[in-house]
């Protein structure tokens, strides 16, 4: 959690807190902060326990999910360019003719010298 903060910065923050809140209020504020962190950890643990009770064995499966595969760009690219299960697979290029046609349609470029498309409603 504090990988990017060094000891010098922690000391400066502690001294700033001492000057801002004063020596009388600082111990009570530290105690309140520790209590708040403890309650937050208990809440997270409780939610995790409820999820584990509700989902059972599926909860352990959720820990192994790589969320990067659900990035919108990655997800759309996989859905649009993925081979269909019933389509024959090509051995030479690694892609079927249908997926190459979809790829060509997606990457179709406009003619050189023509203006880009303009949508008056979007501007």
- Assess if residue 5 is contained within a domain: no
Q: Based on the domain organization, do 37 and 51 belong to the same domain?
A: yes
CA distance linking residue 62 with residue 47, whole number of Å: 15
Question: What's the whole-model pTM score?
Answer: 0.41
Is 45 domain-assigned? yes
56 in a domain, yes or no? yes
119 falls within a domain: no
Confirm whether 120 is domain-assigned.
no
Query: What letter does residue 116 receive in the DSSP assignment?
Result: P
Could you read off the pLDDT tens digit of each residue along the chain, which spans 123 residues? Answer: 557 888 899 899 989 998 998 889 988 998 999 999 999 999 999 998 888 888 877 777 777 777 777 788 888 888 888 776 544 444 444 455 666 665 555 555 555 566 766 777 776
Domain encompassing residue 77:
67-83+93-106
Number of folded domains that form the chain? 2
């Amino acid at each position: 959690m504090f990988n990017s903060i060094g000891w010098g910065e922690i000391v400066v923050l502690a001294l700033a807190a001492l000057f801002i809140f004063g020596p009388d209020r600082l111990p009570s504020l530290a105690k309140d902060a520790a209590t708040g962190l403890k309650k937050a950890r208990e809440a997270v643990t409780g939610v995790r326990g409820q999820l584990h009770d509700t989902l059972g064995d599926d909860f352990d499966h959720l820990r192994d999910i790589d969320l990067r595969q659900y990035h919108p760009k990655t997800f759309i690219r996989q859905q649009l360019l993925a081979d269909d299960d019933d389509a024959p697979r090509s051995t030479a290029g690694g892609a079927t003719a249908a997926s190459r046609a979809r790829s060509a349609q997606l990457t179709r470029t406009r003619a050189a010298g023509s203006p880009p498309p303009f949508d008056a409603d979007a501007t």
